[in-house]
Every structure is written in C-alpha cells, then in structure tokens.
Amino acid sequence: MIVLDPYPRTLDQIFTPADRARLQRLGPVRWHDGPPLADDDVEPLLAETIAVIGQTALPAERLARAPNLRAVLNVEGNFLPNIDYDKCFRRGIHVLCIAPVYAQPVAEMALGLALSAAREIPAGDAAIRAGTEQLLGGDLGEVFLLRGKTLGVVGCGNLGRALLPLLRPFAGEILVHDPWLQEAVLRELGVEPVGLEELFSRSRVVFVVSAVTTENAHAIGREQLELLQDGSLIVLASRAAVVDWDALMDAAASGRIRVAADVFPVEPIPPDERARTTPNTVLSAHRAGSVPEIWPTVGTMVVDDLEWIFRGLPPRRLQRADPETVSRYRSKPIG
Amino acid sequence: MIVLDPYPRTLDQIFTPADRARLQRLGPVRWHDGPPLADDDVEPLLAETIAVIGQTALPAERLARAPNLRAVLNVEGNFLPNIDYDKCFRRGIHVLCIAPVYAQPVAEMALGLALSAAREIPAGDAAIRAGTEQLLGGDLGEVFLLRGKTLGVVGCGNLGRALLPLLRPFAGEILVHDPWLQEAVLRELGVEPVGLEELFSRSRVVFVVSAVTTENAHAIGREQLELLQDGSLIVLASRAAVVDWDALMDAAASGRIRVAADVFPVEPIPPDERARTTPNTVLSAHRAGSVPEIWPTVGTMVVDDLEWIFRGLPPRRLQRADPETVSRYRSKPIG
Amino acid sequence: MIVLDPYPRTLDQIFTPADRARLQRLGPVRWHDGPPLADDDVEPLLAETIAVIGQTALPAERLARAPNLRAVLNVEGNFLPNIDYDKCFRRGIHVLCIAPVYAQPVAEMALGLALSAAREIPAGDAAIRAGTEQLLGGDLGEVFLLRGKTLGVVGCGNLGRALLPLLRPFAGEILVHDPWLQEAVLRELGVEPVGLEELFSRSRVVFVVSAVTTENAHAIGREQLELLQDGSLIVLASRAAVVDWDALMDAAASGRIRVAADVFPVEPIPPDERARTTPNTVLSAHRAGSVPEIWPTVGTMVVDDLEWIFRGLPPRRLQRADPETVSRYRSKPIG
Amino acid sequence: MIVLDPYPRTLDQIFTPADRARLQRLGPVRWHDGPPLADDDVEPLLAETIAVIGQTALPAERLARAPNLRAVLNVEGNFLPNIDYDKCFRRGIHVLCIAPVYAQPVAEMALGLALSAAREIPAGDAAIRAGTEQLLGGDLGEVFLLRGKTLGVVGCGNLGRALLPLLRPFAGEILVHDPWLQEAVLRELGVEPVGLEELFSRSRVVFVVSAVTTENAHAIGREQLELLQDGSLIVLASRAAVVDWDALMDAAASGRIRVAADVFPVEPIPPDERARTTPNTVLSAHRAGSVPEIWPTVGTMVVDDLEWIFRGLPPRRLQRADPETVSRYRSKPIG
C-alpha cells in the first residue's frame, strides 16, 4: 500500500493525471486529501504500507508496526522531528523530501531581489506611479552593477547550488561559506571557500540561502554586518532565523547597507514589523519558493523516485535525509 | 592637439586623474568642460587637431580644415548626423562612440526587470509597505520561472551580446532577431536566428534591446503583440520608438501580457503618460544605462583607444562607426 | 584505531606528510604498507577499529567483532564482494571508495583519444617519424571536427559527469544513456536522455564510460555497432567487458568506424591481441586513470572524509556505496 | 561582374550547388577555376568588376581601372602584399579573408595535441603496435592533467578566441599575450593579460597561435624557453617563424620540456629535419587547419558576406583587413 497524506499540499496541486496513473501502476494506493491523516486512519494501514507520501508521524512504535515500509516521501520542504530517522536508516528505509524543487524558484528570486535592490527597481517603479521619478535616475549615486563584484553565498545546499550558475556570468569572485562541506568540495564547484567573517568582509552582495540548523541560528549578527563595506547588499532568501533581525534592520535604517528580504522573523508578518517602514530595503512576503509551475514537478519527482526504489535503484530526484544532519535542521513549515 | 568637447559628460565624470595623465602623455590637450565648444573656439583649433573627444559638429568643410585629424571619439552613446561620416571613412579617420559602456548596465537591468515582472517584485514590495501582502503570494497564479522558458532577444548589438550570457543559465532556447546579422553569425553565438513574427510567437519573455534605426521604427506593433502567448512578458530596454506604444499599453491593460519598460515615447515622462496607471507593468525612468561606476570607464576606454590609434593599431574598446550603418541610427540623446 | 591496509596503493604514494599528520590527529593509527594485511594481523585489531582504509575483507563475522567500526575507505576504485555491505548499511557504517579521483584523468584522456582519433594524431606523428607524411594531410578525407557533432555518452557516473563539461564547448547535442538515472536527472544536467539504440544511431562520437555491472556486460554488440553512421568513432574508456570486443574490432577493421580504446578484454594485453594490428584504431594500455598527480589527492580525500565522519557530518569527497547498486558492480582491479 | 579566381582553392571544393546559385543571384559571375587568372584575363574584366573572389593582384593601377569594385574576398587565409590596401580603404572597398574558417579546426587540433603530448597518446599507441607497452603506463612519471594548470595562449586573434572556450573547462588560470589588444579587451574575455616573459614563467602549457607579423618573428627564443618550468609543454599551432626552432628542438631533446608542433620552419618538411628524431615531441605535418568539412563553409561565408555588402550592410563572417595591421602580417601560403 502506498499511503498518501499530502498535507499541506493537495492531490490536485501536485499530481497530474499522468502521474496519478504512474503511481497506481506501482501498487495499491490509499488516496487521501485535505487535513493530515488521522491517527485512526494511519494505524490500520501500517502493516501493508510500503511507502508514505507526506508528513505522517512515524515514531519508533509505528515503524515497528510497518515492516514493509521502504520509503517516506515528504512533499513539504522540511524534515520534521516526527519520524524516528535512526530506525529508518537502520532498516534501509529511504527518507526523502522535496526541498530540491524550491531551489530554482528561490535562486531566481534571490537574483531578482539582488538586481532589484542594486538598481532600485521597486523604488523606481513606485516613483513613476507617484509622479516623482527623475529621468535617468537623477542623482541615484548608489546603484551598482553586479558585474565584477565579489559575491558571497552563505549555504551551499540545494539553494546555493541553484544560485551559483546564475551568478557566474557576472564574472566576479564567488565566495561560499558552508560549514557542512569540505573546502575541496567547494573548490570543485569553482568557488572560494571562506569563513563567515571573510565572506562578510569581502563581498559586495551577500546571499543568505542556508537552512536553519542547530548551529547557525542567528549566526549573522551585528558583528558580521559591521564587516560589510558601505553600500553592500544582503539578500535574505532562506529563513530569517539565521540572522539577528534587529541588527539587520538597524543596518538598513542607517543607510550603510541595503537589504532585500523574502523572509521575516514572524510570519505572517505582523502589522508593526519595522521592516515595513525601513528604508534601503526590498521586501517580499516569503514568495521566493512559491511559483505555481513547480507543483506538478513535485508529483513527478515523487513518482520518479518511487519507481526507482521499487526497481531496486537509488532515488535521485528528491533530497535524501542524511543520518548525520537530518536532526539538525530547524527550518519549520510556514503558516 | 587633442580637443575635448565632452558635453553632455563632464571631465570630472569621465576622467580619473590617472587617465588625464595618460591622455596628456599622448600629446597637447585642449581641455574644455561645460557646454559644447562654441564654433569660434573650434575653428582656430582645427588645423592642429589630431583627435576630437566629444560630439563636436564635423561637416565636410570643417574636416577639410582639419588635415591632421585621426580620430573622433564621441563620449555619448549615439552617432549624430552632425559629422560627414563618409569623408571621415575615406580619410581613414576613426569615428568611435562609447555605446559599449552601456551594454552591461542595460543587460543587468533588463534581467532585473524581467525577474521583477515575472515574480512581481515591485508589487510585492509595495504590498508589504501598504500592509496588504499575502504570505507565500496567496493566489499569485501567474508568477513564473525563467528556467527552461524560450527567451527572445530583439537586436544583437552591444546590448544583446551583453544580455545573452546572463540568459544562458536559465537553460531555455534563446531566439534572436537581428536583420543586420547573418543567420550563421547568430548561430555561432549559440542562439537561434528567427524572424520577428516567429520570435513573438515562440518566446515567453521578449527582450527588446535594438537601437532605433531607419528600418525598425515602430516595427513591433499590434500584430506582433497578438502573437505572444497569454502571460508572456516584454522587457523594453532600448528605445520606445521601436514599438507601437499604444498597442503595448493596451496589451498590458488587457491583462494578456506583462510589460517591463525602461523607456517611454516622450521623455521626461509626461504627467499624463498612461503607463503610470497601467496594470501588469514594471516601470523605470530610463535608468538602465545610468550606473555611476561606468563613467570612469568611459575615460579609460577613450584613452586606451587613442593610445592604440597613435601607436598604429586598430582601436578595440569603443564602438567603431560602420560606413554602412552609421547613418541609419535614429536613437537620440535624452533630455 | 584507524587501520591502514592500502594495497594495491602504498603509503608513500597516497599520503603526503601533511595528510599523515592530519590522519594521526584523528586517533591512533595502525600503519601498514606492502601486501594486504594478513588475517592474523586483522583479527586482533577488530575490537578497537573505528575505520579501515583499504580493501580488507569484512564479512559478517568480522563486522560482528568490530563494534566500533564507523567507516571503510577503499583506496582502490572498485567495490569488491569481500564486504557484507548490507550489514554495514544497517549499522550506519560508511563504505566509500576513491573512484571519483579517476574521473578527471579518464575524462581528459577520453577527450584526448577522441581528438587523436578524429584527427589521426598518432598516425600523423608516426608518419613524420617514418618520413612518409603528406603535408596538410594530403587526401586525409575522413578527419573531422567535434564542433557541432552529436556526441553520445554511455554511463553518467563519476566519469561521465567529468566528461560532460569538456564536451560542452563543442556545442553539439549531447546524448546520454544511463539506465540507473531517471530521465529528468539527465535533463537537469543539460543533456538528452536516450536509449542505447538511439544513442548509437545519432552520435558521431560515442564515449563508453560506464562501469561494468551485472546488467551491461557486453551490452554493446554487433547490433549497436551497426547502427553507427559510417565514419563514426567509439571511445572506450571504462572497461572492455561492456562491449563485444570481436564485433568492435571487426567494425574498425572494415573501415566503417574508428575506435579509440584504453581498455582490453584481457590485461595485460596478450601478444596476439588483434587490436595491435587493426587499422582505424588508437590504442592505449589502460592508462586513462594513471596520472601520478592524482595519488596525493587520494590521501587528502580519505582524511577529509574521515574528519567529516568523526565530526558527525556526512562524507562528501569519496564515492558512497549505495545499498541498491554496490553489489551490481563487476569492474575488477587490474593485474 | 563578380570575378572568381579561387586558386589555391577550386570551385568544387568551396562552392556547393546551393551557394553557386546564391552567388549567381547577386549578379553576373565570371567563373574561373584552376591556376590563377592570367593578367590578360584580368584586365578586360576590371571595368565591370564589382567583387573579386580570390588572390588576384590588385595594385594601384589596376584598382584605378576598377571603379566599381566593392569587395575583395580572399579564399586563402593570408593577406598578401599584392594589393594596394590603402587605396582600397580610401575607396571603401572591403578586403576580406577566410582566416576565421580555420579557427575551429586549429583550436581543436591544438587541444588534441596538448592532450596527446600531456598523456603520451601517440607514444602509447606506437608501443602497443610494437608490443612494448606497459599496462597502466608503468613508470610514466611525467604525464599530467590539464585540470587546474595555468595555460598560456600567445596570440588572441581568430585562433586564440576559438581555443579559449575549449580551455575553460579545465578550470585553471588562462594567461594571454597579445600586443595588439589592450589589456582590458583581454580581461573582458575572462583571461589575464600578461607579457611574454610572464606567460612563459607561469604556464604549464603554452599554446602558440599567433600569426607571424613584422614584430614577432622568432620572438620566442632560448630566453623565453628557459623560463618554462620543467615538464612544461609548448603547442605550436600557427607558424614556426614565431619561434627559434633550434632552441625549441634543443629544449625538447634535453627532456626539460615537451613540444607538440603542427608547423615546421621549412615545409614540406625536409628529410633531415631534426624534429623527426627528437624525443619528447608530438609532430603533425601542418594538418591543424585541414579538415575537409570546412571547405563548403568557405563558399557559404563568401556568399553571405557578398549578399550583405550588396544589401548595404557590413560583412560579418569573413575577417576584415584592418588598415593598421594588414601590411604587418608575414604568414605565407604553404607549398
């Protein structure tokens, strides 16, 4: 039995008719939609379950009652602490999530935000609508090119790796900080591995695209921000928890740096969130990953990987949980 | 004598002290700043002039009085009809302009506008400031990725060639229309040469980056716009005269397509320009080429090419006027 | 205890003094060199062993006596059947091998062989030494460019992925056949996934870089070779067992295709191997992976990954055995 | 009248039926094949001639008798001193040659020679044929990878520009020396401009792809070769006259460096040319540009550019003679 428990996704959102048909060819499917499967619904299925598609809780005792389980495919982007991952690994159960599907949308948005902030595109648009524009930008003294600038990327997982190809044609040095990757791994990607401080000291634009982990919460604070050169830009595209938000807003308000942020410490954004009135910012309401065209890809990736697993081959499309890191992630589903 | 007549640029804007020093090492310099050189000032210099840096009028009779002239280096981006180009070519006088310096700024802005419009970045920013944002974009049904989309580029001169490398990592087909380039030249650039109609039919995003010429004024009209698929995007980054502006605004107003425009049919933009209130647009007040950091490059390029010319080598940095095309350009300096 | 059993490598070959020092900082090391560790030497170490660097046999009973084992790092390129892989996976023991270190040497050699065969470089060199050369190639009617040609790659593991970037600047279509990778995975790499028959029908040059597995032995036979267009080229750079060698030699002998081979069905190559006298071939004695400068990298990769494992992070540099595939490989160490 | 005088090419070699038909649509054609047009044949045609396709001598007096001449399209790769170029330029006559058609063949051969020499491919092939091979290369201590190595390119015209994209995936620094290009032009190409001495001091592989000019004859001599690190490689792919041949052969014979040469000081190569017996060399008999598939491209390029010229547009496919440099070239047609 392949058990569907797709919340917060819906079946229609992620499965095309073609992918539903492919899924059904893999075995009996327990279709379910809407709110999470109730415990009472889950229990009787466990004995027959070969795969779970969703975020169903799978503590040790449930896993013990699911002897045929071969794969858990989370159709949301975060690994939650409701699974006994260690048990899964020891039994060879694949634990996968759809994080890679967000990589391209976030990477494109991160670049869009960087160009928007560097060239003041939203402010320029607002000025024309308000009738206050200055032709040729007037004394826009601070707009700048990306070409040739040193660009820093904090985090080189799915998001960072999707971002790098978009940054390369700007032909500047690319610095990357990722404490989970050996330096040689980053060098093979054609970037320069650096510590967080060096990254902030040298980069004109800093892209923050790291997942929140047990180790990096608020790691980017006042001290790092002070290392930035005047007129630098931070693009915050993963989660707000990796920065000291007050320090970030202070730096933008001071006029020393620019900030483009897709994420906020509290979401939905409270009415009195100070970013709403902070100058030198470009703001986006956690929309970097939200592009409708990616949803059908989720279903395709899920079925592709299930096909592969049932064929006795390693899944290649979704992200595999690593025993060493799966319990260190602290990014949460939103709203 | 090297004669400076840099209007609408100023000496401080384009020449660093280092470049002034290099210029002076090339020969006696007649420094001038501010408004264009008066005719009375030009005439007595002609006999000794070896190079003119600026947009000084050089009709046949003046050229005849400047027997030592070897180069004219226009520090604005357009070839104006105030020079007898034919006489220059027959005498082997180099006629150059700084158009290439704008290529990277415009290319980056064109991509920034495309991402801004595709992802509704300015509207998203305005919504947060107005307190009306929807987290995750709500039902933003039309935002889209550039990845994998067919991208069309109208014009493959300085601007188009700077844009292509920025578009490549999005990994879609790239179509180019440029009637001044043989198809094989475009194929060598790794793009597909197409006619204007095919470009509009197939492209999800159309970048208009062609200079205005005697041949293409208003070439993009209602007929072409109707070929666009629903939800397509036009980025207008060179000059408004190549499009039928009313047709363009109608198409945006109808909701059928999106438009990002850096240029307008009348500039400065009149108060009642309808774009100001047209939905589905991202607007910018002719700011694509205006990035302060490019100005010192202008002086460096000018001195680099003068050095080369005086050393008996062909200039390589500025754009050379071509006898066949120089008189066909119709882009004008702005305001 | 970190146990070294590096045969067929030697310590001096793979460990620089710096890497030895790094290794020693990770824990007590049982240094060993020369022939494989004798069983009598292995047994008393098992209880304390935390990592094995080498091809030491690790059947179930030995693993049972090594309760602290966390990693097995094979410093030869093939996963051998002398380990109970399943037990390792269930215990979370990392099983790694150095196959990635060969990827770049083999990829460069594969391209070198392709250009050598396409342009008849070895024959041209031999002709000058023999005094029989024809200036400008005389009637060399069949030499050809790679530019714009359809290139096929059989296998997209370490070798194939290192080869792709070297093939891209030739700007032709790249077809890849790899039955262990979903089509979308290959498309993400920017290549076209195809079946083996389509690959042979369409490619002007076919690079065979797949490992030998239980599934592909002799998969490239007379039938596939007949699909090749006249004048095509096969570059055989992984193992001979994936082709029907007689059929390959027949095709080269007939003059219908060219063959460049780094590998042979029996190695060392027997004196009467027919390839030695077969025309239309470029031959190399299994030298594609043998470049002295890679050896110190082996030691660095081993220590990098051990450091990461002991730090509680997933290893990133060596190849990880996959439960699904590790027992399907059939490539053997050489002579 | 379009006058054909294609020697040393033949009409069948360079014109497909389709290109002949296109040519005829451009105006009356005086077809000629075989040896160069005799003076007696040329003279009566001059008055009507609008274009010459070939290497017909065009001194001042002939040009004076050809008032309608608009273009000279040399279908061999060198600008010869049999034309009064200055007169052509003053009259706006385009002077073009097919040098660009050789760029890709030479670039691919240069890379093929580099890989052949770095990996000893010809020697390895010869060893198997002689039965003296050593499996895995035995003690081949000096073979090396291109990856990560500093690569130097002398000359950045057609050949150098075609070579650069092939070198980029090897991911090392690329140094270029070209005294006809400003440093900024080279930097825009993504390479580091250097002087000849620095290039030789820093590069592991030096590609010599510069045309012979009045300035660079024998510019690469004993002094430069001594700057090379031990084990470096020189690939000589344009003309032998730019090097001190004896010094080059001495360096190869000494075992200090490797040499791959496609060109020789005397061609056809004399029987006693010492290179034939010099070790540490890979030799090719001026075959880098000779690939049959390029010939039809010559005709297509010629017709493409004539079409453009007659349409009043600048030619874009062939190389345009530059007034400053055309008389400095000293490469000669071969044999």
Q: What is the CA radius of gyration of chain B?
A: 22
Q: Is some CB atom of chain C closer than 8 A to the CB atom of D190?
A: no
pLDDT at res. C277: 97
Chain C nearest-CA residue for D290: C136
What is the signed CA dihedral for B303, B306, B311, B313, rounded to 10 degrees? 110
Token pair of B129 as six digits:
């400031």
B308-334: burial string, b at 16+ Cβ within 10 Å, e else = bbeeebbbbbbbebbbbbbbbbbbeeb
State which amino acid sits at residue D25: R
Cα separation, C70 vs B144, in Å, equals 46
The confidence score (pLDDT) of residue C137 equals 79
What is the Cα–Cα distance from D234 to D242, expressed in whole angstroms?
A: 13
- Mean pLDDT calculated for residue range A17-39: 97
Q: What is the mean pLDDT of residues B253-259?
A: 97
pLDDT digits (tens, 9 = 90+) for C209-218: 999 898 888 8
CB contact under 8 Å between C125 and D275, yes or no, is: no
Cβ atoms of C256 and C324 closer than 8 Å: no
Nearest beta carbon to residue C112 from set D121, D166, D283: D121
| Positive or negative torsion for Cα D120, D122, D123, D128 | positive
Q: What is the CA radius of gyration of chain D?
A: 22
Closest to D214 measured CA to CA, from D69, D331, D328: D328
**A169 in contact with B, Cβ within 8 Å:** yes
Band (D114; pLDDT cuts 50, 70, 90): very high
Query: Which pLDDT belongs to residue D335?
Result: 59
Alpha helical stretches, state H, D269-310? 295-310
Residues 6+ apart with CB under 8 A from A253: A278, A279, A280
Query: Which pLDDT does position C141 carry in this prediction?
Result: 65
| Confidence category of residue A214, pLDDT binned at 50, 70, 90 | confident
State how far the Cα of B207 lies from the Cα of B202, in Å rounded to an integer: 13
Please, which residues 260-299 of chain B have a Cβ atom closer than 8 Å to chain D?
A: none
Predicted local distance difference test score (pLDDT) of residue A140: 58
Share of chain D above pLDDT 70, in %: 99
Which of residues 42 through 101 in chain B touch A, CB cutoff 8 A? Answer: none
Q: Which residues pair with A174 in a beta bridge?
A: A151
Give residue C267's pLDDT band: very low, low, confident or very high (50, 70, 90).
very high
pLDDT at B136: 85
Q: Do D300 and B184 touch (CB under 8 A)?
A: yes
Query: Are the beta carbons of C325 and A317 separated by less than 8 Å?
Result: no
- The pLDDT score that the predictor gives to residue B335 is 59
| Of C182, C185, C313, Cβ closest to residue A324 | C313
How sure is the predictor about B141, in pLDDT bands with cuts at 50, 70 and 90?
low
CA distance C150 to D71: 37
A136 falls in which pLDDT band (50, 70, 90)? confident
DSSP D72-128: EEESSSS--TTB-HHHHHHHT-EEEE-HHHHHHHHHHHHHHHHHHHHHTHHHHHHHH
Which chain C residues are closer than 8 Å to D287 by Cβ?
119, 124, 136-137, 140, 143
CA distance D96 to D288: 22
CB atoms within 10 A of CB B188: 15
The strand order across the sheet containing A205-208 reads A192-193, A174-177, A151-154, A205-208, A233-236, A258-261, A281-283
* Residue A331 pLDDT class (50, 70, 90 cuts): confident
pLDDT computed for residue C140 by the predictor:
58
Give residue-wise pLDDT tens across range C139-197. 556 899 999 999 999 999 999 999 999 999 999 999 999 999 999 999 999 999 999 99
Instruction: Decide if pLDDT at D140 tops 60.
Output: no
- By residue count, chain D amounts to 335
Average pLDDT over every residue of C105-133: 97
pLDDT at residue C87 above 60?
A: yes
Distance CA C108, CA A144 (A): 40
Size of interface B-D (CB pairs under 8 A): 53
Q: Is the pLDDT of residue B169 over 90?
A: yes
Residue found by looking up tokens 């070769």 in the block: D225
Place D117 in a pLDDT band, splitting at 50, 70 and 90: very high
The H or E element spanning position B233 is strand B232-236
The pLDDT, as a whole number, for residue C93 is 98
- How close, in Å, is residue C291 to chain D by CA atoms? 6
Are residues D182 and B308, on separate chains, in Cβ contact within 8 Å?
yes
The predicted model gives B124-131 an average pLDDT of: 97
> Mean pLDDT in chain C?
95
Chain C, residues 127-146, CB within 8 A of chain D, namely 127-129, 131, 133-137, 140-146
For the segment B274-312, what is each residue's pLDDT rounded down to a tens digit? 999 999 999 999 999 989 999 999 999 999 999 999 999
Mean pLDDT rounded to a whole number for chain D: 95
Q: What average pLDDT does the structure give for chain A?
A: 95
Residue in chain A nearest C322 by alpha carbon:
A314
CB contact under 8 A, B285 and A115: no
The DSSP result for A143-156, as a single string, is: ----TT--EEEE--
pLDDT confidence of residue B214 = 87
Least confident range from A41-50, B277-286, D207-216: namely D207-216
Q: How many CB atoms lie within 10 A of CB A94?
A: 23
Q: Measure in Å the smallest separation between the Cα of D252 and chain B Cα atoms.
A: 35
Tell me the shortest Cα–Cα distance from A322 to chain C, in angstroms.
7
Phi, psi of C194 (to 5 degrees): -145, 165
- Are the C-beta atoms of residues A34 and A5 closer than 8 Å to each other? no
A-chain residues within 8 Å CB-CB of B271?
131
Interchain contact, B92 vs D90, CB within 8 Å: yes
Nearest-Å Rg of the Cα atoms of chain A is 22
Q: Which residues pair with D4 in a beta bridge?
A: D53
b/e per residue, D265-299, with b = 16+ CB within 10 A?
bebebeeebebbebebbbbbbbbbbbbeebbebbb
What confidence score (pLDDT) does residue B139 get?
A: 59
> For residue B178, what pLDDT band results from cuts at 50, 70 and 90?
very high
Residue C303 corresponds to which tokens in the numbers above?
A: 């220590």
pLDDT at C139: 59
pLDDT digits (tens, 9 = 90+) for C295-333: 999 999 999 999 999 999 999 999 999 999 998 888 877
Q: What is the mean pLDDT of residues B169-191?
A: 97
Residue B174 has pLDDT above 60, yes or no: yes
Q: Give the mean model confidence (pLDDT) for residues B185-206.
A: 98
Please state the rounded mean pLDDT for residues A51-65.
97
Indicate if the pLDDT at residue A10 is higher than 60: yes
- The mean per-residue pLDDT over the stretch A307-326 comes to 96
Is residue B27 scored above 60 in pLDDT? yes
The arithmetic mean of pLDDT across residues A198-206, rounded, is 98
Closest chain A residue to the Cα of B147, Cα to Cα: A104
Residue B320 has pLDDT above 60, yes or no: yes
The answer to whether C244 and C220 are in contact (CB under 8 A) is yes
Q: For position D327, what pLDDT does the model report?
A: 87
